[in-house]
Amino acid sequence: MAEIGNKVKLNAGWLAARSTEVNLTGTQLTTTHPPSITPSSPWMEASVPGTVLGTLVKNKVVPDPFYGLANETIIDIADSGREYYTFWFFTTFQCKLQSESQHLDLNFRAINYSAEVYINGHKKVLPKGMFRRHSLDVSEVLHTDGKNLLAVLVHPPDHPGRIPDKGGQGGDHEIGKDVAAQYVEGWDWMTPIRDRNTGIWDEVSISRTGPVKIIDPHLVSTFFDDYKRVYLHATIEIQNRSSWVSDCSVKIQVTAELEGNICLVEHLQAQKVSVPTGSIIQYTFPQLYFYKPNLWWPNGMGKQYLYNVVISIDVDGFGESDSWSHDFGFRKIESDIDPATGGRLFKVNGQRIFIRGGNWILSDGLLRLSEKRYHTDIKFHADMNFNMIRCWGGGLAERPEFYHYCDIYGLLVWQEFWITGDVDGRGDPKSNPDGPLDHDLFLLCARDTVKLLRNHPSLALWVGGNEQVPPPDINDALKSDLKLHPHFQPSENNQLMSVLSLTAEDPSEYLDGTRIYIQGSMWDGFANGKGDFSDGPYEIQYPENFFKDNFYNYGFNPEVGSVGMPVAATIRATMPPEGWRIPLFKKLPSGYIEEVPNPIWDYHKYIPYSKPCHVQSQIELYGSPKDLDDFCLKAQLANYIQYRALIEGWNSRMWKKYTGFLIWKTQNPWTGLRGQFYDHLLDQTAGFFGCRCAAEPIHVQLNLCTYFIEVVNTTSNEISGVAIEASVWDLEGMCPYFKVFEKLSLPPKQTSSIAEMEYPTYKNSKPVYFLLLKLYKVSNDGIISRNFYWLHQFGGDYKKLEPYRKINIPIQVTSKVNIKGSSYEVRMNVQNNSKNAESSRLTYKNNFINRQDLGDLDSNSLLLENKEQTNEKCSTSFFSKIWRRGSIENNSSRLVETNGNDVGVAFFLHFEVHDSKAEENEEGDTRILPVHYSDNYFSLVPGEAMSINLSFEAPPGVTPKITLHGWNLSQSFTVC
């Protein structure tokens, strides 16, 4: 039963059937002949929200299209016709109104592509467009007994297109004629989606109101006096659905959550408003004043403070008629072109932010979207220390749940509209340059999307399209609709801007007005700013290339990418045995090695680890792989190096040449084999942790071109009283080079060059060696940043690491496990127990510290590594709530160690979590996923110890087992 002001989601109990197999009308289905599942009926359990193909996969009518070559066995809509994927969806819901003044709305947050809705025998038509909301007042057709029948006939996009033999970007581009996601005809990273995502793909709900309804509130904050004086502006639309003038009390309440789940009401204001009968009016509240509120900051710059804003309406003679609530962050985002670099520059709350982030398509290619999955996705991005996600134009206008977690974890969002050059003006065959056929529909969907998302503090900018500008009339309309309010226009004269904003229209009366609109992803400060395809590259590189001055010539690269092979367990879980064959390594006459993948890898868009005549195989550097496990492990070594070097190369020229970059791409919406930091099953590659290392707010690194040690300080504070410890270790466990650089001061927002590494020029330097860099506070030896490299001499390789796998390093692991229901939080202390005279004389007393000790620096995205502290990620983390409440059901400790007797670096250690019983019975993929790690794929020099935190949720009835693997552990061993 929907209460006033609260929606009830209709996400269970749905049935579905192909329309051509149902010989009943919508009226019959919702009156005399409601469907049921029987052996002879076409009806099956449906996925809502979801798609037709998702429902067919769920019921095993078709195989999993993400497994092996199974997608090739599923009929494509181009061959079947649109009717084949036109489906009925049916459910019932319980609701009846308690008075004639009440109204019930049936809400569809998105349908692809059009639909006919039947409720209790009454028909309503939902117009076209994948990205628009529909709200139907169904008050007059509800059954008096409260049981209501709902049937929805969903039609696919009008122009689903055909997949050419050569495939290509967006198939034959016909999908671009509709206002819909364009990736569904396939891309160089994605196989075609056979139903083109037809379905009720987003939330369905019912909501009850009184005679007056609140529509699309808009919240805006303005700042003065160096962010000390802040105003909250709010504008709403009010609809009076009664037959009389409604006298209302309109209230706004702002609440702050304090420690211990205590809430403080910061503001409560009520105003009298009269709304004429049958009308919709716009009402703007008097602005609310705040003095020094807590601000919302991006990941790595500060905390993500959120206030709760509640707007409600009481109607005289009726009572509460409607209410609306939203979490809101006080922050100001500004953007302009940086005169020093020519790149797009972003400021948040007056502070420059160096953008380090990634491109995002969508969570799942079959639109099996869920709040839980979104939580994991966004937390993974925060765990990598990223601060921006770009929602690519060929994908989705992302959902409020996506933005909710971006708000919580501090990920700025670049949201693109549904234009991409491959489908809107170029390609083979040549695509339609004029965008969708219905420009008015496109603009209607765009404006509705703005209203849906504009109150999220994480939303940073709107972009017209990917590698393309929208058609002139659409582009001009978007520029007009999304023009900035004077307060948010860039200006050097803040006092003048303050005067202008006070005399201008209230900013909350704009459609948005707080964020810039950029016409395309390579215009106006992105790439070369002219749309000349100056983004990329997208392939394997020599690590040192990223540091070269000529690697990328422009200030902000919106797409730069590389490899992304997952671990072997993922290959086995997503492919039949014939897909487990590793590539053939074919030596060309030039001496370069070409990789020839098996057909299944090729279908899954594998991108090689070599680029003939340009980049030698980064797998073969370690020796020829023997099997799938060996290949995937060596791929992880390359993944780690590749992405750490990519980010460190940009770090090295922060603000001198670059203002930011976005990696293409962070994940795959299916079981792809390229450009990803975690796979579709939610297991991280080593590249994930290479990014995590390199994108630290304060980071010590080695410039792979100059061999200078550098420190990157992206914070607003000078860091003083710190030192750098640099040590080189050889394969015999000796330390031929050790040096401490003391009395360092690191300026804010700057990369500082400290000193040149001398070791590679030593007379007897080794062909393969390890380098450990530690930036630490002198006062307490607390490590701020730690970075471990494996390196070879110029022109060499890593083949000497192959025999290094045979040594046996003694490892000690102390684990502490906290369990609350199915949630686990585990702290591992891992120590390399090998010692010799060299290691015993060196300092290993450094402790990992909370980066917040350095001032106003945020460490929300970093799991604390101090042995005396616990992990408190953020107030929404259920693991941190477990710690604070102290209500742990199970708390156990354990110590295990190996019997190794060799001395050396414990190399490339990584944890995995498995279902212990399934593993004993060899029941397929036994991994428990996802797992959040404070670090993984790490190495320890002799005598060194490190704390690693793990958090995960185990399925019911599953006993998790945590194992530690390593390059030179004789075998993996169970630590918990």
Q: Which of helix, strand or coil describes residue 532?
A: coil
d(CA 420, CA 441): 17
Cβ contact 712:654 at 8 Å: yes
Whether 467 sits among the annotated catalytic residues: the reply is: yes
d(CA 520, CA 419): 9
Residue 45, number of CB atoms within 10 A of its CB: 14
Tokens found for residue 67: 């497994």
Residue-by-residue DSSP string for 408-421: HHT-EEEEE-S-BT
Q: Is 248 left (phi over 0), alpha (psi -120 to 50) or beta?
A: beta
d(CA 638, CA 622): 10
E strands along 349-458, which residues?
351-353, 355-360, 388-391, 412-416
d(CA 662, CA 460): 14
Question: Of 91, 126, 85, nearest to 108 (Cα)?
Answer: 126
Whether 953 sits among the annotated catalytic residues: the reply is: no
E strands along 505-647, which residues?
516-518, 556-561, 584-587, 593-596
d(CA 35, CA 17): 10
Residue 80: in which H helix or E strand, if any?
Answer: helix 77-80
d(CA 156, CA 196): 7
Q: Is 781 left (phi over 0), alpha (psi -120 to 50) or beta?
A: left
Cβ contact 411:385 at 8 Å: no
Cβ contact 916:959 at 8 Å: yes
Residue 914: in which H helix or E strand, if any?
Answer: strand 906-915
- Quickly list H helices, 174-327: none
Residue 183, number of CB atoms within 10 A of its CB: 28
Cβ contact 652:548 at 8 Å: no
d(CA 973, CA 976): 9
Residue-by-residue DSSP string for 825-889: EEEEEEEE----HHHHTS----EE--GGGGSS---TTS----TT------TT-HHHHHHHHT--S
Say which DSSP state 242 is in: S
d(CA 335, CA 352): 9
d(CA 353, CA 415): 18
Biggest alpha carbon distance in the chain? 94
Show Cβ contacts of residue 926 under 8 Å, excluding neighbours closer than 6 positions. 914, 915, 918, 919
Question: Of 316, 336, 327, 216, nearest to 270 (Cα)?
Answer: 316
Cβ contact 951:826 at 8 Å: yes
Among 467, 838, 912, 953, the active-site one is 467
CA 580 to chain CA centroid, nearest Å: 29
Give the residue carrying structure tokens 């696919």: 156
Among 559, 696, 838, 865, the active-site one is 559
Amino acid at 813: V
CA torsion sign for 70, 73, 79, 80 is: negative
Distances (CA, A) of 376 to 642, 678, 715: 24, 11, 26
| Catalytic residue numbers, as ranges | 467, 559
